Amino acid sequence: MIINIVLLNINAIVCFLTALRLMTFQRKDSDHNWIGSVFAYVLIVACAAVTIRIITGDSVKINPAETFINITLCISLFLSRGNVMHFFKRGGSRANQ
């Protein structure tokens, strides 16, 4: 039971940080990408909803895999400075073929 409370708290914090990082993204001089904007908006709403559900007590049981996925997403977004389009970039020499 204690591990569930710890995982709930971790998940709420991680989802809050993810939504906050997405909301503070600045694209500087790059072109606007509406697909990236829609994807970021959906992620913000989903992460904020998870945080609100945990805070209000609506979510009482959590899966450890869900917490791991949310932590991974949060770390990835912080490493890409909040740019969700980094998830869809092609890498290496195969992109030109």
Residue 10: predicted pLDDT: 94
Mean pLDDT confidence for 8-18:
94
Residue 64 domain-assigned (yes or no): yes
Q: How many separate domains does the chain show?
A: 1
Q: What is the pLDDT of residues 21-68, one digit of tens each?
A: 988 887 777 677 788 788 889 999 999 999 999 999 888 888 899 999
pTM (2 d.p.)? 0.81
3-state SS of 23-89 is HCCCCCCCCCCHHHHHHHHHHHHHHHHHHHHHHCCCCCCCCHHHHHHHHHHHHHHHHCCCCHHHHHC
Residue 95 domain-assigned (yes or no): no
Residue 56 domain-assigned (yes or no): yes
Residue 16 domain-assigned (yes or no): yes
Residue 18 domain-assigned (yes or no): yes
Question: What is the domain extent for residue 55?
Answer: 2-25+37-84
Residue 97 domain-assigned (yes or no): no
